Amino acid sequence: MFNAINISHIFVFDQEEALDFYVGKLGLEVSNDMNLGFMRWLTVRVPGDPNRDVLLEVPAPPGMDEKTAAQVRETVSKGGSGFALGLTTSDCRKTYETLKARGVEFSEEPTEHPYGIDCGLRDPFGNHLRIVQLATAPQQVPARKS
Amino acid sequence: MLRARDAMDRAYAEPLDIPDLARLACVSEAHFIRTFRATFGETPHRYLQRRRVERAMFLLRETDRSVTDICLDVGFASLGTFSRTFHGIVHETPIEYRLNASPLPVPTCFSMTWTRPSSFGEARTSNGT
């Protein structure tokens, strides 16, 4: 029925500021940047992964009324947008050092878990992103005690 | 406010104080407490307490460290205060929680957010009910 997930979105408050972050700091690339008149269709993707776009979407009229847009901005600003994006890497610690040097704000340093090593960061708007270096060994999930 | 809350999530085991967090948020202490409460629905102190209990729940569930060690690991200064606070929020003693709990097969950021006990004792018991 489906072939893949091809696009998801992240709410951003300013698309130029979002580009500075997602492209300028994180190193993603622009896959689409179209002025449709009623909105700017701006998507980014991981270089080398052409089939998965992320839409950098601004909550604003006419897409939504201003009152709702303000609620969205408030919710995102206080970290209420949940897990916005997960990225994989082959070296979490190195990626962390590189991004930190570029001024990225991390909420959690690289930490080892059963599933791999991951770290947490925020974009300029409050969205929570995670970068994970997946463990190569299969994960054993312990059975719940009966 | 989000920066201050992220700092508490990160440095919960340290003796955090409100003046430091207020400075991080670039506001006065009184303003910080008021604004934090208006934003997140509880005072910074209460948020930190629940974060420490959540981390203790994680360590009880996922490690074999002693209750005393966990108490100190998460930033409580006394076992008595820790046990009382834990029981008041989770409605089980630390030992009871450990006996009933199992490791969670989800990313840690999720268990950190979703197993955080609520302010009013409506926390899920360790068997998920």
Please report whether residue A141 resides in a domain. no
Spatial contact of A73 and A28, defined as CB atoms under 8 Å apart: no
Percent of chain A with pLDDT over 90: 84
pLDDT at residue B11, rounded to an integer: 86
Please report whether residue A140 resides in a domain. no
Six-digit token pair at A117?
């090593």
* Residue range of the domain that includes A130: 7-134
Q: Is A122 in contact with B6 (Cβ distance < 8 A)?
A: yes
Size of interface A-B (CB pairs under 8 A): 43
- Strand (E) or helix (H) holding A56: strand A53-57
B125 vs B28, residue with greater confidence: B28
Chain A residues closer than 8 Å to B64 by CB: none
Please report whether residue A142 resides in a domain. no
Of B86, B80, B84, the C-alpha closest to B55 is B86
Closest-CA distance, B102 to chain A, in angstroms, reads 6
* Ramachandran region, residue B46 (left: φ > 0; alpha: ψ -120 to 50; beta: rest): alpha
- CATH architecture of the domain covering B2-114: Orthogonal Bundle (1.10)
Please report whether residue A100 resides in a domain. yes
- Domain count of the fold of chain A: 1
pLDDT digits (tens, 9 = 90+) for A52-102: 999 999 999 888 999 999 999 999 999 999 999 999 999 999 999 999 999
Do you find a cis peptide bond into A62, omega within 30 degrees of 0?
Answer: yes
Spatial contact of A36 and A42, defined as CB atoms under 8 Å apart: no
Q: What is the ipTM of this complex?
A: 0.72
pLDDT at residue B19, rounded to an integer: 86
pLDDT at residue B72, rounded to an integer: 94
Please report whether residue A38 resides in a domain. yes
Q: What mean pLDDT is predicted for residues B35-50?
A: 91
Closest-CA distance, B82 to chain A, in angstroms, reads 25
Spatial contact of B44 and B24, defined as CB atoms under 8 Å apart: no
How many CB atoms are closer than 10 A to CB B22?
20
pLDDT at residue A142, rounded to an integer: 52
Task: Determine the angle formed by the axes of helices B2-10 and B44-62, rounding to 10 degrees.
Answer: 30
Least confident interval from B71-80, B92-101, B109-118: B109-118
Closest Cβ opposite residue B2 in set A126, A143, A145:
A126
pLDDT digits (tens, 9 = 90+) for B50-81: 899 999 999 999 899 999 999 999 999 899 99
Is the per-residue pLDDT at B121 higher than 60? no
Q: Burial code of B25-49, b = ≥16 C-beta within 10 A, e = fewer?
A: bebeeeebbebbeebbeebbeebbb
Dihedral over Cα of B113, B117, B123, B128: its sign: positive
Percent of chain B with pLDDT over 70: 88
Give the Cα-Cα-Cα angle A115, A120, A124 (nearest 5 degrees): 155
pLDDT at residue B112, rounded to an integer: 76
Closest Cβ opposite residue B40 in set A78, A139, A143:
A78
Task: Determine the angle formed by the axes of helices B44-62 and B79-90, rounding to 10 degrees.
Answer: 90
Is the per-residue pLDDT at A141 higher than 60? no
**CATH number of the CATH domain containing A90:** 3.10.180.10
Work out the mean pLDDT of chain B and round it to a whole number: 85
Indicate the SS3 state at residue A131.
strand
